[in-house]
Amino acid sequence: MPSFKQQMQQKLHAALSPAEQEKLPAGFQRLGHIVILRLHPSLESKKQLIGEAALTCVPGAKTACNYAGKISSEYREPVIEWIAGEHNTVVNHFEHDCVFRFDVTKLMWSQGNMNERKRMYLNVKKGEVVVDFFCGLGYWSIPIAKHASPAHVYAIDANENAINAIQENRTLNKIPKSVLTIIHGKCEEVAPTLGKIADRVIMGYLPAPRFALPSAMHVLKDQGGIIHYEGMCPQGEYETLVQEVRDVATQYGKQVELVHAQEVKSMAPRKYHYTLDLKVTPIA
């Protein structure tokens, strides 16, 4: 069977020059009824035509979108534009027996983190209190609340679009408010007001959210807990990220032990995305 790119080249051979055909994307991201392409800037004037062709190559796809730029805002909102098909960018995405409803032009979803999302909820122990910094549309909080039997999950985000989405996803997944509390605000301001309640703090944000580490230290229980810390570094050199956490923890009379380092995916040449499980305890 021809590859996606070969199918696209066949469908567009009369509309695109050979050079343009070579710049067609080799693949796509699929979220529900939506196909998301990453088009070369030189194909800007042909994007609608290319989007229409993509919809004929992907069975069941109804909407085509394009990554129009890099994520750069504080809220890590995607730069995704509609280019063809139905003008409906709200998707129901199913993963790990959960449903996530969101607008792909307003909120980010990374397919490459799927295994990490599963690993996360499998690691949470029954009866834990989890505080999810930068919760987004509920990538971590929804599966944890639904599958891990926590005592409680606190999900915090400053992005109003994210808060609206996770509230809807809490309802869609039939998670009671007595299990999942959603808070609109900056985690570095909100978390310290919760008290020392957390067995586990999730810090799923790139680049590494060093600025929020003091708040994570404040919200952990007196006896300590686990911090899930994310960041980017050259392959295998995640000790630099561990040291970031150690430097802050020491100021709060705490020590840090690396429990697990998970390489998630390559982000750029010599830049890899890592998630670290760090055990934080008082210095004896």
CATH architecture of structural domain 112-282: 3-Layer(aba) Sandwich (3.40)
What pLDDT does 74 receive?
65
What pLDDT does 13 receive?
94
Q: Is residue 86 within a helix (H) or strand (E), and if so which, with residue range?
A: none
What pLDDT does 72 receive?
59
By DSSP bridging, strand 271-282 and strand 254-268 are antiparallel
Query: Whole-structure pTM over 0.85, yes or no?
Result: yes
Answer whether the bond into residue 207 is a cis peptide, omega within 30°.
yes
pLDDT digits (tens), the chain, 284 positions: 899 999 999 999 999 999 999 999 999 999 999 999 999 999 999 999 999 999 999 999 999 999 987 765 566 678 899 999 999 999 999 999 999 999 999 998 877 678 889 999 999 999 999 999 999 999 999 999 999 999 999 999 999 999 999 999 999 999 999 999 999 999 999 999 999 999 999 999 989 999 999 999 999 999 999 999 999 999 999 999 999 999 999 999 999 999 999 998 888 788 999 999 999 999 98
> Under a CB-based contact definition with an 8 Å cutoff, are residues 3 and 26 in contact?
yes
CATH superfamily of 4-88: Met-10+ protein-like domains (3.30.300.110)
Backbone dihedral angles phi then psi of residue 136, each to the nearest 5 degrees: 60, -145
d(CA 128, CA 144): 10
DSSP 109-129: --GGGHHHHHHHHHHSPTT-E
In the chain, which residues fall in CATH 3.30.300.110? 4-88
What pLDDT does 108 receive?
86
Q: Is residue 92 within a helix (H) or strand (E), and if so which, with residue range?
A: strand 90-95
In the chain, which residues fall in CATH 3.40.50.150? 112-282
131's torsion region: left (phi>0), alpha (psi -120 to 50) or beta? Answer: beta
